[in-house]
Amino acid sequence: MGMNIGIVGLGLIGGSLALDLRQQHTIFGVSRRPDTCKQAIARRIVNQASTDLSLMAKADVIFLCTPLGAIEATVTQLLPHLAPNAILTDVGSVKGAVVRAIAPQWQNFVGGHPMAGTAESGLDAALSGLFVGRPYVLTPTDSTPTTAVGTVAELARSLQSQIYYCSPEAHDRAVAWISHLPVMVSASLIAACLSESSPEVLNLAQSLASSGFRDTSRVGSGNPELGRMMAEFNRDEVVRSLHAYRHQLDQLITQVEQSKWNSLQQRLTQTQIARPSFLSDPQNLGKPSVKEA
Ligand code: NAP
């Protein structure tokens, strides 16, 4: 049944959600810049748009899709406008800080994180089908009403996402490893290459760079604001993962300095064997999982 869906923050994620959900629902969009609102209406991404949060009074379910740093202030301004039974959910890449800030303010709140994206940002970057086959993590707490969780899960399912349930803390620790740490590592790789002191060698390296460099540097060249927010809002887990990574680098340096070639090869064999378990579903089947059947 069609619902009134509110989307606050018409950027990459908010715009992409609107593009998919508009097939079955009426979409009300709020964004910061009037131009973005005009564009969203002109391109029929939303049915109505405004820079004024009072538009959200019509919404049954509202997705908070602003940058992480704006979510809490947005909710404070939004609360007076909400219908009593409105369900609030967010798409923030970090869950602990967001859930701690919003759950005490609105009973019908479900933390969420659709794990899809591109290196682009803003409404122009919005894509339909962005969430197909991608994980959509929901982080309800003991006090989250099950009907609210069910409604958000149903919407996520309609995007053809794979739904996972976990605590906000488990989410933040897991994404530190596979999303936030890779951004920092990849950015450090680019920065390390730039530290080459010979302009001639740097030039040559830049000319020779190919698929290996493209693969390992890609996530280090994404939206800088998003990278900053990951570190700022998931600081403890990002620091923990960076320390673990530094420990690996230290061991690697020792192995190479001391010409421990067998140990190095063993290490690379272990990582070669381990990688598929992070990437392909069939490898995950034997493990206890919180993924929906
Ligand atoms: P984005 O492309 O920059 O979109 C956010 C949009 O929100 C901006 O384009 C801006 O639009 C609008 N906005 C900014 N401040 C606002 C405010 N105070 N009130 C209303 N609208 C405001 O960023 P994004 O990549 O979609 O990320 C949005 C959220 O999704 C973040 O919380 C992020 O953690 C999460 N997320 C991102 C990804 C990813 O890969 N990018 C993946 C999953 C989740 P105008 O200024 O044009 O109005």
Place of tokens 């602003």: 66
Taking residues 71-85, report their average pLDDT. Answer: 98
The string of pLDDT tens digits covering residues 208-237 is 999 999 999 999 998 899 899 999 999 999
Rg (CA), the chain: 21
Please tell me whether residues 10 and 146 are part of one structural domain.
Answer: yes
In ligand 1, the atom with minimum distance to the C-alpha of 121 is 2
Backbone angles phi, psi at 210, to 5 degrees: -140, -145
Residue 282 lies in a domain: no
- Residues spanned by the domain of 217: 171-277
Judge whether residue 285 has pLDDT over 60.
Answer: no
Distance CA 135, CA 195 (A): 37
Is the CB of residue 136 less than 8 Å from the CB of residue 164? Answer: yes
The residue contributing the CA closest to ligand 1 atom 5 is 11
What CA–CA distances, in Å, run from 156 to 140, 161, 188, 204, 250? 14, 6, 34, 47, 42
Close Cβ partners of 58 (under 8 Å, ≥ 6 residues apart):
4, 6, 28, 83
> pTM for the whole thing?
0.93
In ligand 1, the atom with minimum distance to the C-alpha of 230 is 34
Separation of CA 84 and ligand 1 centre (Å):
26
Residue 283 lies in a domain: no
Judge whether residue 286 has pLDDT over 60.
Answer: no
Q: Quote the pLDDT of residue 119.
A: 80
Residue 180 lies in a domain: yes
In ligand 1, the atom with minimum distance to the C-alpha of 51 is 20
The string of pLDDT tens digits covering residues 238-261 is 999 999 999 999 999 999 999 999
Please tell me whether residues 57 and 140 are part of one structural domain.
Answer: yes
Distance CA 233, CA 63 (A): 19
Domain harbouring 12, CATH code: 3.40.50.720
The residue contributing the CA closest to ligand 1 atom 12 is 9
Domain end position, chosen among 139, 166, 193:
166
Residue 290 lies in a domain: no
Please tell me whether residues 209 and 126 are part of one structural domain.
Answer: no
The string of pLDDT tens digits covering residues 105-161 is 999 999 999 999 888 899 999 999 999 999 999 999 999 999 999 999 999 999 999
Please write down the long-range contacts of 210-219, taking CB distance under 8 Å and 24 or more positions apart. Answer: 216/186, 216/189, 217/186, 217/189, 217/190, 218/119, 218/186, 219/182, 219/183, 219/186
Distance CA 152, CA 155 (A): 5
Burial of residue 28 (CB within 10 Å: 0-12, 13-18, 19+) is buried
In ligand 1, the atom with minimum distance to the C-alpha of 15 is 26
Separation of CA 9 and ligand 1 centre (Å):
5
Is the CB of residue 180 less than 8 Å from the CB of residue 172? Answer: no
Backbone angles phi, psi at 220, to 5 degrees: -80, -5
Q: Quote the pLDDT of residue 287.
A: 44
Domain end position, chosen among 166, 184, 200:
166
Q: Quote the pLDDT of residue 291.
A: 55
Q: Quote the pLDDT of residue 290.
A: 56
Domain end position, chosen among 135, 166, 197:
166
Q: Quote the pLDDT of residue 72.
A: 97
Separation of CA 67 and ligand 1 centre (Å):
4
How many folded domains does the chain comprise?
Answer: 2
Please tell me whether residues 205 and 255 are part of one structural domain.
Answer: yes
Is the CB of residue 49 less than 8 Å from the CB of residue 74? Answer: no
Helices (H) and strands (E) in the chain, counts: 14, 9
Computed over every residue of the chain, the mean pLDDT equals 95
Is the CB of residue 69 less than 8 Å from the CB of residue 93? Answer: no
